[in-house]
């Protein structure tokens, strides 16, 4: 595994659903890009023991954490603490790209 990457190399999209693209993974955490075409979403879900951070690289999206929803754009960031429901929806007409960090790494992919 290389310790250095170009984010552009991890920005691929799928017409069927939001695409997760792996960047880094250790026994303690993982870092991915999540790429959303217009209209795609990551339905709200909860991780009992993992914290997740979403950092918007491109586009705008509706981010839900717990009972709160915010629209975030490039350069904005959201924290979904362990145990809180969270999700993302791209309601815009443009692509949305987020950088996602999860720690500690879950036993199964998120």
pLDDT by residue (tens digit) across 84-96?
999 999 999 999 9
- In the predicted model, what is the mean pLDDT of residues 72-99? 98
**Measured in Å, how far apart are the chain's first and last C-alpha atoms?**
20
11 backbone dihedrals φ, ψ, rounded to 5°: -120, 70
Q: What does the mean pLDDT of the chain come to?
A: 95
Is 70 exceeded by the pLDDT of residue 43? Answer: yes
Is 60 exceeded by the pLDDT of residue 51? Answer: yes
How far apart CA 17 and CA 8 sit, in angstroms, is 19
Write out the E strands in the chain. 19-25, 30-36, 41-45, 51-58, 60-65, 68-73, 77-80, 86-89, 96-103
Ordered structural domains, the chain, with CATH:
18-100 (2.60.120.10)
- Please state which of the ranges 43-47, 51-55, 103-107 shows the lowest mean pLDDT: 103-107
How many percent of the chain have pLDDT more than 90?
Answer: 93
Question: Is residue 110 very low, low, confident or very high in pLDDT (cuts 50, 70, 90)?
Answer: very low
């Amino acid at each position: 595994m290389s310790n250095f990457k170009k984010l552009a190399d991890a920005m691929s999209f799928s017409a069927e659903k939001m695409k997760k693209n792996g960047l880094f993974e250790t026994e303690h955490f993982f870092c991915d890009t999540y790429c959303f075409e217009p209209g795609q979403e990551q339905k709200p879900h909860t991780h009992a023991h993992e914290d997740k951070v979403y950092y918007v690289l491109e586009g705008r999206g509706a981010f839900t954490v717990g009972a709160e929803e915010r629209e975030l754009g490039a350069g904005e960031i959201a924290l979904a603490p362990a145990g809180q429901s969270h999700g993302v929806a791209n309601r815009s007409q443009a692509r949305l790209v987020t950088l996602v960090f999860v720690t500690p790494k879950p036993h199964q992919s998120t």
